[in-house]
Structure 1
């Protein structure tokens, strides 16, 4: 017998009397044509007043439209007891505070030890069946708020909000120097670096990319900056902040220009040995980068409309310990 998730319901108002069921599904319930095709293959996927019908039938005011999705599991993800912090959970979504250093989803060469392994293990121990669907991405070394959908409808709905720029994503970063002006936006097209394809650069021929920023605190050597993504390019914040001369502290891929002046791997011991021949400002930049084990970037806030309740929801994750310590070091 097919097991389903709880139904998602819509009651037809007077103003939509006579509409076709498929129009209700697409325009009111925002069920994509792809998902509609999938739902039609199951007995209770799409029902009208409790009965399975063709989506070409007209509806009447007061009719109850329901969609049901089959329960799924992530059979390809090995359950592992990996702890993670839950910020919010209901039967449709899971919001977590991802730690820095953990990969979100298994990839080639990283089949275990990921957030997905921990979440799948957590669901199994609760006796629940869901497929792991991260709605958006965070780099391995970026901490903060991450949304996970529990069914394809929720995943599609939030993804469409992101495409329509209706999802608010705000980050906190500790950067070298202080942006000038202290509040503004960086409008710089981004594309792959032709010389190093794993890197991204600002280039006139790149994809449109926009980041808004505001300096929250500034000190002699660095700043705490709040950033809002208006587009979602790979490494966007790291590339944009580097482009204005304020790279993220600790970033090993998009480093401060001072590194171009120095040969060799600059670990802390090398920096200290070079004290006699290295300018003081260069030593300070490198020491700051050694003070944190990753780029100082944190996904602080995520806001979107709940796909089922339609309430606007906002989730926040506080600044993690390593960034708090770095902030204190900059302050003192």
Structure 2
């Protein structure tokens, strides 16, 4: 049945947003951490923005107009040039009450595929030899049967920096990037990360780059899965005073012999090795949140620089949503 259309609301409403957010809401902690990080980055923003522009990351009242979407588009290139995403992640982690939560001795590393915003049909020969009589066209027909395609001879017309790659045998090849994260093992917070092109050595190269960015050169342990069980990589870790707590890659060769691991028996016997193997799996929680909650399973940006900035900001966001509970826990 249809009732009477009675309206009891007042014509005007005056809302105090501060009163609407309870004192113990986790967003208050997140906002405080973010504001502190942004204050530390004032010098970086001063280089990017001319004096007088002060509406960056400020609170807006209910009745105040929001920014037009073009504001973010115009600012994006300046933020990329200033490497603001990486600086913001470091500024969050550098705050004293956050820093005390981080392990300085035990870390884990891993990589994940980030599908590019490009169709497999856009993966065409660089010399244009597979174009139809009317050229590449828009959403033109493509037949891949018996066609040999590789990143050496082909390139996506939609995102030239994306690479055709598959994570393992039996999995389909996709146009994608590789996302990387370095995690501390105490609370599973991401301390570094980024995007590279998808290559067979991309995960190991990125791991070494992240280790080289560490401010300290004290000896640490590094947990990783079996994809990192490579003799040269283990050698590179030891040269950096990093103990490799890497899972054993013992797959059988074509002759039926198990592969020889690069991890020595002394390392495997240490009790810390088993602890690292348990802790390293938590890095999948970081990637899972970034893909499912932050929407990066298939990225909506093109180009390595833009994808890298979005990925790094999402690493910082993952940390921020976990920090209120960690900071509230008894020491």
Q: TM-score range by the shorter chain?
A: under 0.3
Q: Give the alignment's TM-score, normalised by structure 2.
A: 0.24
Instruction: Name the structure with the higher helix share.
Output: 2
Q: TM-score, normalised by structure 1?
A: 0.24
Larger relative contact order (CA 8 Å, sep ≥ 6): 2
